[in-house]
Structure 1
Amino acid sequence: MSVGTYSERSAAKAGENDGFSVPWSRQRPKPRRAVSASLVSAVTILVLLAAWTVSASLQLVSPVFLPSPAAVWAKFVIVARDGFVDATLLQHLLASLWRVFAALIAAILVGVPVGLAIGISRIGRGVFDPLLEFLRPIPPLAYLPLIIIWFGIGEPSKILVIAIAMLAPVALSTAAGVRGVSRERVDAARSLGATRAQVIRHV
């Protein structure tokens, strides 16, 4: 074996081991680009629209129950332009938003104090917790006839139905938030001279 041949083999072997002896000299594999959730959502919507269009064109379901996307869009344009039942689409939308936000305000005004009472006081928990647990699983359509009988078919009954549906989640979420407050913060506030009302308000 010649000296030149030995040196060439040593250099080649050293070059092969460079990746092991010097970690940063190795070529790192390129990370795979993850598919974004928005792209998956867009593809899902397009697939659903395509399936809807094919089903409507082949009339797999009666057009009365499954009209084509073009027919739905045409009706939407007509309702938005000409209105429906003596009111435009914008007026219907504003009326619905008014009912939802009025019911939300009513649910907050009632549900937050109830949730505070459940989270702070055992008496409040004993009084309000059974009522909320009884009310929570009942769907709004179940007590809708009673509300219509008691309050009529006007705006108050509509707002009341939505408010009752919102009341239990608002109250239970408030109670969970009160129970989740760190005990150390409450003790620190009391050690600094905070009253019970100040603890409830600030902590």
Structure 2
Amino acid sequence: MSEIVELVVPSFLDTLYMVVFSTFFSIILGAPLGVFLVLTDEEGLLKMPKINSVIGTIINITRSIPFIILIIVLFPLSRVIVGTTIGKEAAVVPLSIAAAPFVARVVESALKEVNKGVVEAAVSLGASIPQIVLKVLIKEALPGLILGITLTIVNIIGYSAMAGVIGGGGIGDLAVRYGYQRFRTDILIVTVIILVLIVEITQRTGNYLAKKIDRR
């Protein structure tokens, strides 16, 4: 039992590291894209349908690339940014880039759910576009945004487990090296249980927060 704990705890902390930092960077990369897609839509405040179409296509292409392939393609970028292609730090790079398009679509979808009348009222009162984005769109869409980010985190947890296949570290790496390659069924079962618990806690927390701030 003590051996399992010694193996699982560092791997769990590595997974937590990857999920937290990948979520942060994917939001930094993806959220502005989502806002831009809403503003440049045919019904948006900036109306740039051609640019909107190009950005949307790039996002769709990136989302369609299987994550395991994306990791390999981004090896050079990981080496440039963190100096290595293995370990939890290196895994953050492809995890963030893989999740960013998903975040963009999540943000776009949530903001488009905001009542257009509220936006029109803000425009008529002379609000600037940054004010409309921050004080109207994001504020009104916050419950949906929280649920969307929760779903993003759940996806990143799954991605982080796959990153372990090529030495990304974390629970996935432990499951492959010990659970599969060394035929340690006990470790394999423990890693699966931990991943399920992480996902369950994340989803329940997201649902609670979204419900808590929903004023509708």
Output the TM-score relative to the length of structure 2.
0.52
Say whether residues 1:188 and 2:113 are aligned partners. no
Residue in 2 aligned with 1:126?
53
Q: Which has the higher helix share?
A: 2
User: Aligned letter for 1:78?
Assistant: E
Say whether residues 1:105 and 2:32 are aligned partners. no
- Quote the RMSD (CA, aligned, Å): 1.8
User: Aligned letter for 1:178?
Assistant: L
Residue in 2 aligned with 1:137?
64
Equivalent residues of 1:103, 1:160 under 8 A apart: yes
Residue in 2 aligned with 1:202?
135
Equivalent residues of 1:103, 1:159 under 8 A apart: yes
Deviating beyond 4 angstroms after TM superposition, the runs of 4 or more aligned structure 1 residues are: none
Give the drift of 1:133. 0.6
Aligned sequence identity (%): 20
Secondary structure at the aligned position of 2:118 is classed as helix
Residue in 1 aligned with 2:10?
91
- Distance in 2, Cα, partners of 1:201 & 1:140: 32
Higher RCO (C-alpha 8 Å, min separation 6)? 2
User: Aligned letter for 1:169?
Assistant: F
Residue in 1 aligned with 2:3?
78
- Aligned residues, how many? 122
> How is 1:1-203 mapped onto 2 (pairs within 5 angstroms)?
77-80=2-5, 83-84=6-7, 89-122=8-41, 123=48, 124-150=51-77, 151=79, 152-154=84-86, 155-203=88-136
- Distance in 1, Cα, partners of 2:75 & 2:125: 52
User: Aligned letter for 1:115?
Assistant: G
- Distance in 1, Cα, partners of 2:37 & 2:89: 28
Give the drift of 1:77. 5.0
Consecutive unaligned residues in structure 2, runs of 5 or more: 42-47, 137-216
1:146-198 per-position Cα deviation (integer Å, ceiling 9, x unaligned): 22244232444300121122112210011112222211101111222212221
Consecutive unaligned residues in structure 1, runs of 5 or more: 1-75
- Distance in 1, Cα, partners of 2:102 & 2:71: 19
Output the TM-score relative to the length of structure 1.
0.55
- Distance in 2, Cα, partners of 1:190 & 1:148: 46
Secondary structure at the aligned position of 1:136 is classed as helix
Give the drift of 1:115. 0.3
